[in-house]
Each structure stands twice: as structure tokens, then as C-alpha cells.
Structure 1
Amino acid sequence: MKPVGAITRGTTNPNRLRRVDNFVAYRCGDLLKAASVPLVVDLGYGASPVTAVELRARLADTVRADLTVIGLEIDPVRVTAAQPWAAAPRLQFRRGGFELAGLSPVVVRAFNVLRQYPEEGVLEAWRSMTATGAVLVEGTCDELGRIATWAVVERGTPLTLTLSARLPVLEHPAVFAERLPKALIHHNVPGHPVYELLRSLGRAWETEATPFGPRQRWQATVRRMRAEGWPVLDGPARWRLGELTVPWPAEGQTS
């Protein structure tokens, strides 16, 4: 099966995807626990397999020990370079793209991949990666994983958007704008739902300036967003981690 996609830059760093790995365990843990074949695909792990190795270790610790992670890369050189890591239990590396190399995973994580594609290719990539029923967690982050955003996609349809930050270094929610998923980044202009979301989040952050620490300020900001009518999901346990999750900001949607 010919891989679908193109070779991207492939830059990565250890612990870069810790925030989204934590979310995958939370959001998809029950699905993986119930699965007869608990398979997760890490699509486009990059020049180093370190984030796939970390994903496998984190999910094994928090979800189930017999879980398998398969890292897929279009670049055969990267696949070959990753093979020494495949000696670890239930960790493999193969060549593949959006067609997932014919696999049928429960979960797909694709991070910092579609950001390097044109926006018009996003929907088809989502459809390909979820065609067999997988839950897709797709997004982008900064180089050290301090600021991240991601979508949860099922059957080609985005369900939620999550904004996540390492709170001690969060100066203002405006920084999320440059790390939005590819499907949204060009829609962050007046009149579009994601613009209104970020503008409201920024106002709430500015209003909730307190003598307390950034964690308390973020939680107060999220509570204010909910009080103002934004359909904030989850609860304080996730907010304390620096997360805000809302239904996908589709066109025509208001707070």
C-alpha cells in the first residue's frame, strides 16, 4: 500500500507531546481498555522516534500495559533509524501515511503534521485517518510543548477543540492563535467563531488578574468563560492542567 502524504520537517523534542499524551489517556483511556486489540498509531513521529516511545510508556503506565504503539512515517530513512527502539515491548515503526498502512487502530495521534500541509488537504486527511473508526487527536504545539492546541476528530468530523498551556509561562491566551490546528489558523479573523473564542478568552484572562498564581488565574478565567455562556467541557481537574476544551468552533456557531 503506497503511503499517502508528503515528508515534512520532522523536528521534535523529548517531552514535547506530554500535554497531549495526558489528554489521550484521559479522553481515550476507556476505549483502549475495552478494545480487544489496543492499538495506537503515532502518525508522523518525525526525525526522532522519541515522542512515540514516550507515548507508549505513558499509556502503558496510565491505561493498560499490553497496549501497542506503532509509529508511522513516510520517510523510509526515518523508519530505518527508529528500528533500534522497536526492541522495546509493543513498540513498532513502519512506513505509512494518512492511510495508516492498512492498520485499524483505536486511536491516532497526529501532531505537528497537518500544520505543514495546505488547509484544503485537512478534511481528506481527517477522513482517511478515521475511516476505520479510530479516534483522531490532531494538533500542533510549540517547540517545547508549552503551548498546544488539538482537535478530537471522529469519522472525519471535528468534535472538540482543546487549548493547553504550561501555566507558569503563559503570558496571555493570545499565544494560542499561532498554534491553532491547520483547519482553524486561517479563520482567526473577525466574524469567525475561533476569533471570538480567543478574544473572549483574552478578555477573561485580563479580567481575572489576581495576586494568586497562574494556575488560579487560569481556573478563574475558564470559570468566567463558562459563566459568560461558552460551552466549556470537562471540569476543574482538567482546567488545573492548563486545558480549556470546547465544542469545535464551527462556522455559524456562537457562544
Structure 2
Amino acid sequence: MKPVGAITRGTTNPNRLRRVDNFIAYRCESILKDAARPLVIDLGYGATPVTAVELRGRLAAAVRADVAVVGLEIDPVRVSDAQPFADPPWLEFRRGGFELAGLAPVVVRAFNVLRQYAEDEVAAAWRTMTSTGALLVEGTCDELGRIATWTVVEDGVPRTLTLSARLAALQHPAIFAERLPKALIHHNVPGHPVHELLQALGRAWETEASPFGPRQRWLATVRRMRTEGWPVLDGPARWRLGELTLPYPAG
């Protein structure tokens, strides 16, 4: 099966995706536990396989010991270079793209991949990656993983948007604008829902200045967002991690 997609830059770092890994362990726990074969695909793991190795370790520890992770890359050199890190059947590396190498995973993580594509290619990629029923977590982050955003996609349709930050380093929520998923980054202009979301989040942050540190300020910010009518999901246990999840701001 010919891989669908193009070779991306492949930049990666250890622990870069720890925030989304933590979210996957939380959001997909029941899906993985109920699966007859708990297969997760790390699509486009990059120049080194470190994030796939970390994903397998985190899910095995937090969700299910027999979870299997397959890292897919279009670049055959990257696939070859990753083989010393493989641990079959729990961790494998294969050549593949959006078609997922013909596999039938339960969950797909695609991070910092679609960011490098044109916006008009995103919807088709979503549909392809979820065509077998997999839950897709697709997004982007900065080089050290301190700022990240992602969307959960089911059957080609985006359901939620999550903003996540290392709170100790967060100066202002406006920084999320630089790391929005590809489908949203060009919609951060007046009149679009994601722009209104970020504007409201910024106002709430500025209002909730606190002497008790960034975590308490973030918690107060998220509570204010909910009080103002934003459909904030989850609860304080997730908010304390620097997360804010809402229904996807379509339009």
C-alpha cells in the first residue's frame, strides 16, 4: 500500500508530547481498555522515534500493559533508523502515511504533521485517518512541549479543542494563537469562533491576576470562562494540569 502524504521536517524532542500523551491516557482510557487489540498509531514520529517510545511507555503504565504502538513515517530512512528502538509486538516502526499502512488502530496521534500541510488538505486527512473508526488526536506544540493545542476527531469530524500549557511558564493565553491546529490557525480573525474564544480567554486571564501563582490564576480563569457561558468541559483535575477543553469552535 502506497503511503499517503509527504515527508515533513521531522523535528522532535524528548518529552515534547507529554501533555497530549497524558490527555490520551485520560480521554481514551475506556476505549483502550475495552478494545480486543489496543493498537495506537503515532503518525509522523519524526527524525527520531523518541515520542513513540514515550507514548508506548506512558500508555502501558497508565492504561493497559499490553497496549501496542506502531510508529509510522513516510521517510524510509527514518523507519530504518528507528528499528533499534522497536520492541515487538508492543512497539514497532513501519512505513506509512494517512492511510495508516492498512492497520486498524483504536487511537491515532498525529502531532506537528498537518501543521506542515495546506489548510485545504486537512479535512481529507482527517477522514482518511478515521475511516476505520479510530479516534484521532491531532494538533501541534512548541519545540519543548510547553504550549500545545489539539483536536479530537471522530469519523472525520472535529469534536473538541484542547489548549494546554506549562503554567509556570505561561505569560498570557495569547500564546496559544501561535500553536493552533492547522484547521484553525488562519481563522483567528474577528468574526470567527476561535478568535472569540482566545479573546475571552485573554480577558479572563487579565481579570484574574492573583498573588497565589500561575496555577491558581489559571484555575480562576477557566472558572470565569465557564461562568461567562463558555461550554468548558472536564473539571478542576484537568484544569490544574494547564488544560482547557471545549467543543470544537467550528465556523
Task: Give TM-score scaled by structure 2 length.
Answer: 0.99
The residue aligned with 1:120 is 120
Q: Would you say how many aligned residue pairs link Structure 1 and Structure 2?
A: 251
The residue aligned with 2:174 is 174
The residue aligned with 1:51 is 51
The residue aligned with 1:60 is 60
Q: CA deviation at 1:88?
A: 6.2
The residue aligned with 1:18 is 18
The superposition leaves residues 189-242 of structure 1 with CA deviations (integer Å, 9 ceiling, x where unpaired) of: 000000000000000000000111100000000000000000000000000000
Amino acid at match of 2:61: D
Q: CA RMSD in A?
A: 0.6
Q: CA deviation at 1:89?
A: 5.7
Amino acid at match of 1:227: T
Q: How does 1:58-137 map to 2 (within 5 A)?
A: 58-87=58-87, 90-137=90-137
The superposition leaves residues 27-58 of structure 1 with CA deviations (integer Å, 9 ceiling, x where unpaired) of: 00110000000000000000000000000000
Q: How does 1:208-247 map to 2 (within 5 A)?
A: 208-247=208-247
Amino acid at match of 1:104: A
The residue aligned with 2:32 is 32
The superposition leaves residues 114-170 of structure 1 with CA deviations (integer Å, 9 ceiling, x where unpaired) of: 000000000000000000000000000000000000000000000000000000000
Q: How does 1:142-221 map to 2 (within 5 A)?
A: 142-221=142-221
Amino acid at match of 2:36: S
For 1:105 and 1:88, locate their aligned partners in 2 and report how far apart those are by CA, in whole Å: 16
For 2:101 and 2:210, locate their aligned partners in 1 and report how far apart those are by CA, in whole Å: 51
SS in 1 for 2:22: helix
For 2:193 and 2:242, locate their aligned partners in 1 and report how far apart those are by CA, in whole Å: 21
SS in 2 for 1:237: helix
Q: Which runs of 5+ in 2 are unaligned?
A: none
For 1:75 and 1:210, locate their aligned partners in 2 and report how far apart those are by CA, in whole Å: 48
Identity %: 81
Amino acid at match of 1:17: L
Query: Structure 1: which 4+ aligned runs deviate by more than 4 Å?
Result: none
Amino acid at match of 2:65: A
The residue aligned with 1:6 is 6
SS in 2 for 1:87: coil
Amino acid at match of 1:243: E
Amino acid at match of 1:113: V
Task: Give TM-score scaled by structure 1 length.
Answer: 0.98
Amino acid at match of 1:80: S
